[in-house]
Structure 1
Amino acid sequence: MLTLAALAGLLSVPVAVLLVEVIAALKAPKLEPFEVKELNIEKRVAVIVPAHNESSGLIPTLQDIRAQLGAGDRVIVVADNCTDDTAAVAAASGAEVIVRNDPERIGKGYAMGWGVTHLSADPPDFVLFVDADCRLQDGLIDGLKRTCHGVQRPVQALFIMRSAENSPINHSFAEFAWILRNWIRPLGLRNLRGPVQLMGTGMMFPWNAINSVPLASGHLVEDLKLGLDLAEAGRAPHFFPFVKVTSVFPTSAKGTESQRQRWVQGHLATIGKFVPRLLCVGLMRGDKHILALALDLLVPPLSLLALLIIGTTVLTSSAALLGGAWLPVLIALGNFAGFLLCVLLAWLKFGRQVFPAHEALSFGTFALKKIRFYGRMLVGGSASQWIRTDRSTPH
């Protein structure tokens, strides 16, 4: 009984965190004074675009960036271990280009660190990282710059993934999960005056913050690691949801699975590596920002959390019907009800456009696919550290 009760009780923590974040997100965000105040002094921004074989989609991204640059601002493309013409395309589009070739050390973190080292000869006031396949909303750079100047901490824009037009893959579940992860939960943390996780793109840093943390790594989710490192240094990221950067999901099954495998494996590895330490550091310092990020990190990917909750509910119910105790069942059912409430509230407020109600009828098929996905992930080894996501449509 104790083992099953403990198992169900452990799942209560991420469910409770998720429920608090979703409820807090139901309130519309308000602009802080520093987020609308004009800068009275010139501040220079350098935009770094890490790019690994991204020549086919790089031009629109650079056009969006260049349209928002002011006097003294720069855009630097880091052509990292490329085997295509990324460097030439970037140079022709008016970007500064630095080439990095080091096949022994592959990872987006290495490319980011290379770009920051390049800037150290003439440091800007702020550094903005943008992925090479993203589009920027008008006013994004200016809004992030004002906010970053006001908080003197990293600032994360809203990052949304959408399905490509005429995509052969139905990404409805993935789009809803993405909105919950990258919009609803950070919005809830913002409304609670808390920090957020970094999302990998659309993130701006004061120079003295980004220049003070190690970047060069092959970590699968370098954005999560970077945000946690900065939180430990007293500079937890701030969420600015009023501007957004967008990208599209892969349009091939291979690209979809490889991308999700990297995200899931990286997230789970980060939980195991960082959460115990962050909880200890946060408690010893009395730092609510570190504690908030540690608790937020405990929430696994939505599909995995759903499968764990369903699995524990079935397991505890079966044990109780065979003569076991009913306390684990009650805890498991509480988790199930709390999770359903989270999903319902999130869907009603934010998700109805991307996830129509009739799509829920296909949840059984989706769940079976996810079980197979996690099974393959367990036996298939680690994901690649940094490869360009396959976005080609199968013929």
Structure 2
Amino acid sequence: MSIVSALLATVLASFPALLLVPVALLLVQVLAALPPRRRRPVPAAARPRAAVLVPAHDEAIGIAATVRNIRAQLADGDRVVVVADNCRDDTAVLAREAGAEVIVREDPQRRGKGYALDFGMRYLDVAPPQVVAIVDADCRLADGALDRLARTCGASGRPVQALYLMYAPPGAGLKARIAEFAWAVKNHLRPLGYARLGLPCQLMGSGMVFPWATLRAAELASGHIVEDLKLGLELAEAGQAPLFCPDARVGSEFPRSIEGVRSQRTRWEHGHLAMIAGAAPRLLRVAFARRNGRLAALVLDLCVPPLALLTLTVVAAFALTGVLAAVSGLVLPFALAALACALLAAAVLLAWAACGRDIVSFADLVRAPLYALSKIPLYLRFLVRRQVDWVRSRRDVP
């Protein structure tokens, strides 16, 4: 092989070789999560006083049920505070009637969950709790979740993330059920695998509990569209990487409206990809410079793209390098792409066996690439017109 051919082979092999990193990490996380999970005892540490912050923008449909769900888990000295943020409906009235403390924020120029949380923290400054929980207005805590989270946070002195699952509405079609399965892989198996390896997890946006001083020192006031992901990485950089607590659960439903689903997925996935492109390189350099293994682990986890995009990219690499091998005889790029395909298929099948069989059938799983193809416009919009502003997803959930 000539020098030119060798250099060409090296360049062409680099892309599938890079793909092997997120694919291999996904497989490692799934494998580590597979052994039967034993429920851990609740930490024996004293139960710290908790304040539950509920940021709410036009959540009149479900806010009363959320407040009642949280109040049922409050201990003596706890409180629930709803931040009615730029609302144009009866969110504040209904939350107050359900028994929450309600504060109203009006600032149409600064919109987003981060601003609402910052407003709530400044309100709590008058009588600070020991720990602060954040629960989204459309979520429900499973029995005992708040107590377990608060005790774990108090015992560890670190932020704690519950198992946050989202469910397809009853009677939902294939796309919604595939999305539920992908969510379970991302928010259940992957952080569980990391936890069993002694590694931290990303913050997921709801079911999060923080030591008061940790959250008070954080920079919350921003309109970042994935403020939870950003916050978790910043805390890991500061030496406060979050713990995963799978025995405490919080759940919600995907929006029922097509508009709501599209808005929600665009916000999450554009925000995730923007974090990979904009924050990952710097954070990885910081992690290695400081020998911060927890931060490095979270950055590598961040660099695993959404499952649909990862599938599309691996399959495209396999097809393109296959054509290249047939035309030029360069086999190495094709071999690496084929390995990435095999590892990804193994990870998805193992994940389906572990947590997906009650969500999608095997026949549905085989059709999942069609779901991935339907998301190509979303990823193309990231390149030409990415979403950067926070927009509430229309839920239309009774």
State the TM-score bracket (shorter-chain normalisation).
Answer: over 0.9
2:371 and 2:238 mapped to 1: Cα distance?
Answer: 41
1:2 and 1:261 mapped to 2: Cα distance?
Answer: 35
Amino acid at match of 2:44: E
The alignment partner of 1:186 has SS state of: helix
- Structure 1 residue 13, shift from structure 2 partner: 0.9
- Tell me whether 1:97 sits opposite 2:105 in the alignment: no
Give the gaps of 5 or more residues in structure 1.
none
2:373 and 2:278 mapped to 1: Cα distance?
Answer: 29
2:127 maps to: 122
What are the residue-to-residue correspondences of 1:1-395 with 2, within 5 Å? 1-30=9-38, 36-40=42-46, 43-167=48-172, 170-382=175-387, 384-387=389-392, 389-392=393-396
Q: Does the CA-based 8 Å contact 1:261-1:383 persist in structure 2?
A: no
Report % sequence identity: 48
Q: Does the CA-based 8 Å contact 1:169-1:252 persist in structure 2?
A: no
1:169 and 1:349 mapped to 2: Cα distance?
Answer: 19
Amino acid at match of 2:55: P
The alignment partner of 2:279 has SS state of: helix
The TM-score with structure 2 as length reference comes to 0.94
- Structure 1 residue 326, shift from structure 2 partner: 0.7
1:285 and 1:99 mapped to 2: Cα distance?
Answer: 42
The alignment partner of 2:233 has SS state of: helix
1:170 and 1:312 mapped to 2: Cα distance?
Answer: 24
- Structure 1 residue 374, shift from structure 2 partner: 2.5
- Structure 1 residue 16, shift from structure 2 partner: 1.2
Amino acid at match of 1:391: R
* CA-atom RMSD in angstroms: 1.6
- Structure 1 residue 165, shift from structure 2 partner: 2.0
- Structure 1 residue 70, shift from structure 2 partner: 1.1
Amino acid at match of 2:42: V
- Structure 1 residue 376, shift from structure 2 partner: 4.3
Amino acid at match of 1:134: C
Amino acid at match of 2:154: H
Select between 10-19 and 44-53 the one with higher mean Cα deviation.
Answer: 10-19
1:287 and 1:374 mapped to 2: Cα distance?
Answer: 32
The TM-score with structure 1 as length reference comes to 0.95
The runs of at least 4 consecutive aligned structure 1 residues that moved more than 6 Å come to none
Deviations 1:287-309 (A, max 9, x none): 11011101111100000000000
- Structure 1 residue 117, shift from structure 2 partner: 1.0
Tell me the matched-pair count.
389
1:318 and 1:37 mapped to 2: Cα distance?
Answer: 57
Give the gaps of 5 or more residues in structure 2.
1-8
1:169 and 1:314 mapped to 2: Cα distance?
Answer: 26
